[in-house]
Amino acid sequence: MKIKGLRWVVLGLIVLITIINYLDRGTLNYMWITNSKIQYDLVSAVSNEHKLPYAVYLSAENKYLLLEADGSARKVDKESVVDKSKEGSSSIQYIKKSGIALDLGLVDATAAPAEIAKQSKKILSYITMFFMVAYGISQLVSGKIYDKIGTRKGFTMSVIIWGLADMFTSFASGIGSLCGFRVLLGLGEAGPWPGVVKSNAEWFPVKERAFAQGLFGAGGSIGSILSPIIISMLYISFGWKSTFIVVGSLGLIWLIPWLILNKKTPDEHPWITDEERAHILEGREVKGVNNTTTDKGKSWGELLGLKNSYAVILGRFFLDPVWWMFVTWLPIYLSEVFKLDIKQIAFSAWVPYVGAAIGAISGGWFSGYIIRKGKSANTARRISVVIGACITLPALIAAAFASSALSAVIIMAFILGGFQFSIVNIQTLASDFHSGKTVGSLAGLGGFAAVMGTVISMFLIPYITTNGNWFLFFVMGAIMVPLSVLSVLLFGKVKNK
């Protein structure tokens, strides 16, 4: 049996598991703190004549008494409600907060909304830092592991670890267990990033690699588009525990076609056509690089001694945090700044990732187009990184002044679109600089650096967004973009010396 375009089938499976990867990592963020908007008729005094539910304003306490449909009552601060009165009728809308942080008693449910936001952001940032440290270690180690055992076994190992970790999160009972399960998730989820760089170096000629990397990046964007919708709907229908189980199981199901179809590398695969095998093997070479696939691979020390390694390492250290800022904090931002409830977040938080998907595919295509026009891979990657930054930077500045949730998510589509346009080309540099067993190692070093930059930003965000002011959040992102571009321009030459 022969399969035409087998390299695209293999990449398609990797794109699919990347979508699942982003569903898994988004579970905690979208269910951490949720808003539910409840409408109450506003009346002057408690009375059996009024139809439940209704509310009474207690002027002496500056609070509202909410009487529920089941007959229960509770008092809430005035700042927790929104006046929805219209001509001829008086009503208020109470924003009820729920989610994992409140269900597990990690924050004080009786505190004022501002205090709940402060407590929940700090705890989420700490849990995310544990996840990111594990993710960074895994990026570093996974590159070496994938180089040693190959992408078929490497992806299998990663998916089993993160799928089970996400499923087991349904048993979390406090901060300790949440951190533990997120550490396991990070150890598993990081593998595909150095893994796909290695896979693309094996399955694609040089002129197609950035486009292949772009499709991989688009998979992450599609996963981010689907995450708020799928996770929010599962949460509303079944609760957070069942959501973890359902989403975590998807990767384990994916393993079936992966193990069947990805039998060997293209030089040995029994189902690849002769034409496609020749197309791949003849197009692997990059001038100035040792293109043999049988080399033993450079050590981390040797890679750190090469100037061009820092185009990947520093380029990702500065740029990757921009992505994680939105992946982690977008639902919290929309909830806190624009008071969106979980349903509104589900149908708005996906918008920025449409831009990301477009940027990933177009960034990869564009650099390949430049190469096909006769320019070097070095020139193509640099031009593409600069163009992406020219989209991201002004959009970050504009987002700081967004006046509505709609304008914010549209502007963010340009931020993440420009980010992906640049990052797919920075990630591809590892396979431009090296071949064989060194590719995954450098990709892993770049991934580790990206995580370290992200951990720093995660630590700072709760402190620079106090009192619901997110201006410095966008300023921080705007500072990092030009630093990443400068790193690529200073260090990113293909030829190793």
Alpha helix segments (H runs only) across 373-437: 377-399, 405-433
Strand ranges of the sheet holding 91-98, from the earlier edge strand across to the other edge = 73-77, 63-67, 54-58, 34-43, 91-98, 81-83
What per-residue confidence (pLDDT) applies to 447? Answer: 85
Q: What confidence tier does 197 reach under pLDDT thresholds 50, 70, 90?
A: confident
- Determine the Cα–Cα distance for residues 228 and 412; give it in Å rounded to an integer: 15
Sign of the C-alpha dihedral, residues 16, 18, 22, 23? Answer: positive
- Asked whether residue 200 is assigned to any structural domain, the reply reads yes
**Same-domain pairing of 58 and 197:** no
**Same-domain pairing of 122 and 67:** no
**Same-domain pairing of 173 and 93:** no
Q: What confidence tier does 35 reach under pLDDT thresholds 50, 70, 90?
A: confident
Number of compact structural domains in the chain = 2
DSSP state of 62: T
- Determine the Cα–Cα distance for residues 338 and 63; give it in Å rounded to an integer: 22
Q: Which of 129, 231, 161, 232 is nearest to 17 (CA)?
A: 161
Give the count of beta carbons closer than 10 Å to the beta carbon of residue 87.
4
Show which of 57, 76, 98 is a domain's final residue: 98
- Determine the Cα–Cα distance for residues 386 and 378; give it in Å rounded to an integer: 13
What per-residue confidence (pLDDT) applies to 268? Answer: 87
What per-residue confidence (pLDDT) applies to 310? Answer: 93
What per-residue confidence (pLDDT) applies to 296? Answer: 63
**Same-domain pairing of 157 and 73:** no
- Determine the Cα–Cα distance for residues 18 and 213; give it in Å rounded to an integer: 12
Q: What are the phi and psi torsion angles at 174 (to 5°)?
A: -175, -175
Show which of 76, 98, 120 is a domain's final residue: 98
- pLDDT at 380 > cutoff 70: yes
Q: What confidence tier does 439 reach under pLDDT thresholds 50, 70, 90?
A: confident
What per-residue confidence (pLDDT) applies to 497? Answer: 36
**Same-domain pairing of 22 and 152:** yes
Residue in the block written with tokens 């640099």: 382
**Same-domain pairing of 16 and 45:** no
More confident site: 210 or 238: 238
Determine the structural domain holding residue 429 and report its residue range.
Answer: 6-33+112-290+297-491
What per-residue confidence (pLDDT) applies to 286? Answer: 54
- Asked whether residue 373 is assigned to any structural domain, the reply reads yes
- Asked whether residue 205 is assigned to any structural domain, the reply reads yes
Rounded mean pLDDT, 319-335: 93
Q: The tokens of 52 are what?
A: 């439940």
Rounded mean pLDDT, 116-129: 92
**Same-domain pairing of 89 and 204:** no
Helix or strand or coil: residue 99? coil
More confident site: 290 or 417: 417
- Asked whether residue 496 is assigned to any structural domain, the reply reads no
Q: Which of 50-64, 371-385, 432-446, 471-485 bottoms out in mean pLDDT, i.e. has the lowest?
A: 432-446
CATH number at residue 314: 1.20.1250.20
Alpha helix segments (H runs only) across 239-376: 240-261, 274-282, 300-304, 309-338, 342-346, 351-372
- Asked whether residue 278 is assigned to any structural domain, the reply reads yes
Q: What confidence tier does 481 reach under pLDDT thresholds 50, 70, 90?
A: very high
- Asked whether residue 106 is assigned to any structural domain, the reply reads no
What per-residue confidence (pLDDT) applies to 496? Answer: 42
Rounded mean pLDDT, 67-88: 82
What per-residue confidence (pLDDT) applies to 50? Answer: 86
- The Cα-based distances of 73 to 69, 79, 80 in angstroms read 9, 18, 15
As a whole number, the mean pLDDT across the chain is 89
Q: What confidence tier does 288 reach under pLDDT thresholds 50, 70, 90?
A: very low
| pLDDT tens track for 132-188 | 999 988 877 887 888 889 999 999 999 999 999 999 999 999 999 999 999 999 999
What per-residue confidence (pLDDT) applies to 74? Answer: 86
**Same-domain pairing of 40 and 183:** no
- Asked whether residue 455 is assigned to any structural domain, the reply reads yes
Burial class (CB in 10 A: 0-12, 13-18, 19+), 469: exposed
- Determine the Cα–Cα distance for residues 497 and 486; give it in Å rounded to an integer: 21
The conformational region for residue 239 under phi > 0 = left, psi -120 to 50 = alpha, else beta, is left
- The Cα-based distances of 179 to 124, 427, 463 in angstroms read 10, 28, 21
The answer to whether the bond into 462 is cis (omega within 30° of 0) is: no
Q: What confidence tier does 285 reach under pLDDT thresholds 50, 70, 90?
A: low
> pLDDT > 70: what percent of the chain?
96
**Same-domain pairing of 67 and 159:** no
- Asked whether residue 78 is assigned to any structural domain, the reply reads yes
Show which of 45, 74, 98 is a domain's final residue: 98
- pLDDT at 238 > cutoff 90: yes
Q: How far apart are the first and last CA of the chain?
A: 45
Sign of the C-alpha dihedral, residues 142, 147, 148, 150? Answer: positive
**Same-domain pairing of 305 and 376:** yes
Rounded mean pLDDT, 211-238: 90
**Same-domain pairing of 213 and 314:** yes
- Determine the Cα–Cα distance for residues 253 and 468; give it in Å rounded to an integer: 41
| pLDDT tens track for 422-431 | 998 998 888 8
**Same-domain pairing of 151 and 46:** no
Rounded mean pLDDT, 312-339: 93
